[in-house]
Structure 1
Amino acid sequence: MLLTSLAIDASNAIRWENLGIKPAIDLGFFELRWYSLAYLAGILVGWWYLLRLIGQPGAPMARRHADDMVFYATLGIILGGRLGYVLFYRPLFYLENPLEILQLWDGGMSFHGGVIGVSLGIVYMARKHGLQWLRIHDYVACCVPFGLFFGRLANFVNGELWGRATDVPWAVVFPAGGEVARHPSQLYEAGLEGIILFAVLWFLFWKTEARYQPGKLVGTFLLGYGFSRFVVEFYREADAQLMEFARMTHLHMGQWLSLPMILGGLYLIATAKGRRHRVEPVAGSESVA
Structure 2
Amino acid sequence: MPTLALPFPAIDPVLVHVGPLAIRWYALAYIAGLVLGWLYARWLVARPALWGGTSPMRPQDLDDALFWATLGVILGGRLGYVLFYNPAYFAANPADIVAVWKGGMSFHGGLAGTIVALVLFAHARGIRIFSLLDVAGVVAPLGLLFGRIANFINGELWGRPADVPWAVVFPTGGNVARHPSQLYEAALEGLVLFLVMLLVVRLGGLKRPGVAAGIFGIGYGLGRITGEFFREPDAQLGYLAFGTTMGMWLSVPVVLAGLALLLYALRRRPAP
Which interval holds the TM-score relative to the shorter structure?
Answer: over 0.9
1:258 aligns with 2:251: yes
CA distance in 2, matches of 1:238, 1:202: 31
CA–CA separation in structure 1 for the residues paired with 2:270 and 2:177: 53
What's the secondary structure of 2:236's corresponding residue? Answer: helix
Which of the pair is proportionally richer in helix? 1
Residue 126 of structure 2 is matched in structure 1 by 130
Q: Give 1 or 2 for the bigger CA radius of gyration.
A: 1
Residue 107 of structure 2 corresponds to residue 117 of structure 1: no
Contact residue 13 and residue 172 of structure 1 kept, 8 A: yes
| TM-score of the aligned structures, taking structure 2 as reference length | 0.94
Q: Is 1:161 paired with 2:151?
A: no
**Aligned equivalent of 2:23, options 15, 20, 32:** 32
- Alpha-carbon distance between aligned partners in 1 of 2:12 and 2:77, rounded to the nearest angstrom: 24
Tell me the alpha carbon deviations over residues 46-102 of structure 1, each in whole angstroms, 9 at most, x when there is no partner: 110000000111322112211111100111111111111111101111111111122
Runs of 4+ in 1 over 6 A off after TM superposition: none
Q: Distance in 1 between matches of 2:146 and 2:107?
A: 13
Q: By how many angstroms is 1:214 displaced? A: 1.4
Matched residue, 2:235: 240
Report if aligned partners of 1:138, 1:217 keep a CA contact under 8 Å in 2.
yes
Give how far 1:106 is off.
1.4
Matched, 1:11 2:7: no
Letter paired with 1:13: A
Deviation of the 1:252 alpha carbon: 0.4
Question: How many percent of aligned residue pairs carry the same amino acid?
Answer: 48
Aligned pair in 2 of structure 1 residues 98, 249: CA closer, same or farther (>3 Å)? farther
1:96-111 alignment runs, 5 A limit: 96-111=92-107
Question: Secondary structure of the residue that 1:177 maps to in structure 2?
Answer: coil
Contact 1:145 1:197 in 2 (8 A): yes
SS in 1 for 2:161: coil
Task: Answer yes or no: is the 8 Å Cα contact 2:4–2:164 preserved in 1.
Answer: no
**2:68 aligns to what?**
72
Name structure 2 gaps, 5 residues minimum.
49-53
C-alpha distance in structure 1 between counterparts of 2:24 and 2:108, whole Å: 23
Contact (CA 8 Å) 1:21, 1:157: kept in 2 or not? yes
Distance 2:41 2:257 in 1: 23
1:229 Cα deviation after fit: 0.4
CA distance in 1, matches of 2:207, 2:143: 25
Q: TM-score, normalised by structure 1?
A: 0.89
Which SS does the other structure have where 2:237 is aligned? Answer: helix
After TM superposition, the structure 1 stretch with the greater mean CA deviation from structure 2, 134-143 or 265-274, is: 265-274
